[in-house]
Chains A and B, each alone.
Chain A
Amino acid sequence: MSLLRTPLFENVKAKGGRFVPFGGWEMAVQFAGIQSEHDAVRTGMGIFDVSHMGEIEIRGRDALAAVNRLITNDLTRIADGQALYTCMCQPDGGIVDDLVVYRYGPEHIFICCNASNREKDFAWIVEHLTGEARAVDRSVEFAQLAVQGPAAPALVQRLTRVDLSPMKRYWFAEGEVAGIPSIISRTGYTGEDGFELYVPAAQGGRLWDALFDAADGALHPIGLGARDTLRLEMKFALYGNDIDATTSPLEAGLGWVTRLDKEGGFIGQDVLRAQKASGLTRGLIGFQMQGKVPARHGYAVVDADGQTIGTVTSGSFSPTLKTCIGMAYVPKSSTAPGSQIFVQVRDRAEAAVVVKTPFVAR
């Protein structure tokens, strides 16, 4: 199968992107180098082409209530113009996907989902919507650019008449950016301030170029490599690595977006309540390697006797901390910060310690 390309492919290529296959897409993994790209986002600003992400819109008289039945978080707790992060679960509590859900109003909901789950999510949503609500997969209509970093808000503000200063994190507005109709969302996957901009696919390249022009050399193109290290330092979950259909949001540390007492209920609520009542057997923790060797996705977590007790779900060198960090599922008895664990790296067990997260304070 040939790889899909985002509407910005040529613009990204022109900035020196090095492309790799990623979930069926041809995406830039790096430009100047992961370390320097990572630093640019933490200290200045960077831009990501994330047009591969899916966008699903739900409209109808019962749209809000219908979507609320599908997600673990609670849309009645936020206002129109606000968004939330959430899981969408199976009846057994396993995670279908993690989403950002935008509340336009009771009759209009907009969802951003993972690229690799788009078709599955859309089918799931269509199958489980109740009442008067209709879902449309609008993914191909949108390009999505993430502008992230402490300098990002000022840059976006220079290109729009929408007053961004009162816009708090996880709020959004519609308006023109560089003359292009956009959804301006104060969200991101880096731990830094910034925006995710949803624009008509055909105009994504023009917005990319306009942002670079306005930034006068201060904006750096960022690839998937640094996107991964940035999110890992915040312990943001990556679907397919840290969470999937076999993990529950409670185990994954996503209890804060799981409203077990939500009125009206949600798919998976009963199982998750029971899981909470009977006590979790494992948890997703952050760890820091004590030596210099990186732990990687899929490596076994072992105890002092070499017995396997868990699995590393994400692991990398941390460009900010200059040490190796990761996430892993471990038994409840080893989830407390300070717990000693070991990671099986090739033929040896490397010492690691469970640490508080996020790894990098923000």
Chain B
Amino acid sequence: MGSPQDLRYTDDHEWARLEADGTITVGITDHAQDALGDVVFVDLPAVGRTVDAKGTFGVVESVKTVSDLYAPCAGEVVAVNGELSGAPEQVNKDPYGAGWIVRLRPTSAEPLAGLKTAAEYDAYLATL
């Protein structure tokens, strides 16, 4: 099954969705959650924090591993998914929905430029 068409993707397996209000919602892909296994903790950034493109903004931990989260674009954190502190398994169950991680207000004009389309990301996964 292909990755959702309406999202853009990083090489580090984050997805990004441009919302109607101009903010960018960020999570990790289905491939990423499957590779990590059971997610037990998500280290969320503080709202108001600024992040650089490709900078780390948090950590997702499964039973076995610790994995950094990389921002798909530069921006300010305007919201975090607080539900994950009580239910980190949402990242596994619904990575593109209830498992979203942060929402950024981008600080560049074309925040999603340079990210992969779904077709490009799926082609990339096939090479891994």
Contact = CB atoms under 8 A, between A and B. Distances in A.
A319 B62 CA distance: 11
Contact of A292 (B38, B41, B62, B63): B41
A34 B66 contact: no
Nearest to A294: B61
A316 interface: yes
B41 A34 contact: no
Contacts of B40: 292, 294, 317, 324
B43 A316 contact: no
Interface residues of B, number: 12
A346 B85 contact: no
Given A34-B64, A317-B63, A319-B63, A292 B85 contact: yes
Interface in B24-68: 37-38, 40-41, 43, 59, 61-64, 66
A146 interface: no
A202 interface: no
A34 B38 contact: yes
Given A319-B63, A346-B59, A33 B37 contact: yes
Contacts of B37: 30, 33-34, 225
A324 B64 CA distance: 12
A6 interface: no
A70 B63 CA distance: 37
B99 to A, nearest CB: 16
A1 B70 CA distance: 32
Given A294-B40, A317-B40, A317-B41, A229 B59 contact: no
Contacts of B63: 34-35, 225, 229, 316-317, 319
Interface in B49-102: 59, 61-64, 66, 85
B41 A33 contact: no
Nearest to A323: B40
A29 to B, nearest CB: 7
B128 to A, nearest CB: 13
Interface in A1-48: 29-30, 33-35
Interface residues of A, number: 17
A34 B35 CA distance: 12
Given A292-B85, A346-B59, A225 B41 contact: no
A344 to B, nearest CB: 14
B64 A225 contact: yes
Nearest to A317: B40
Contacts of A34: 37-38, 62-64
A326 B37 CA distance: 20
A293 interface: yes
A296 B64 contact: no
B43 A33 contact: no
Contacts of B61: 293-294, 317
B67 to A, nearest CB: 12
Interface in A321-339: 324
Given A293-B43, A346-B43, A33 B38 contact: yes
A288 to B, nearest CB: 14
Nearest to B66: A296
Given A292-B85, A293-B43, A346-B59, A35 B38 contact: yes
A35 B89 CA distance: 11
A324 B61 CA distance: 12
Contacts of A346: 43, 59
Interface in A301-357: 316-317, 319, 324, 346
B59 A294 contact: no
22 contacts: A30-B64, A33-B37, A34-B37, A34-B63, A34-B64, A35-B63, A225-B37, A225-B63, A225-B64, A228-B64, A229-B63, A292-B40, A292-B41, A293-B41, A293-B61, A294-B41, A294-B66, A296-B66, A316-B64, A324-B40, A346-B43, A346-B59
Given A229-B63, A293-B43, 14 more contacts: A29-B64, A33-B38, A34-B37, A34-B62, A34-B64, A35-B38, A225-B63, A225-B64, A294-B41, A316-B64, A317-B38, A317-B41, A317-B61, A324-B41
- The 7 tightest CB contacts between A and B, nearest first, are A317-B40, A34-B63, A35-B38, A225-B64, A317-B63, A293-B41, A294-B61
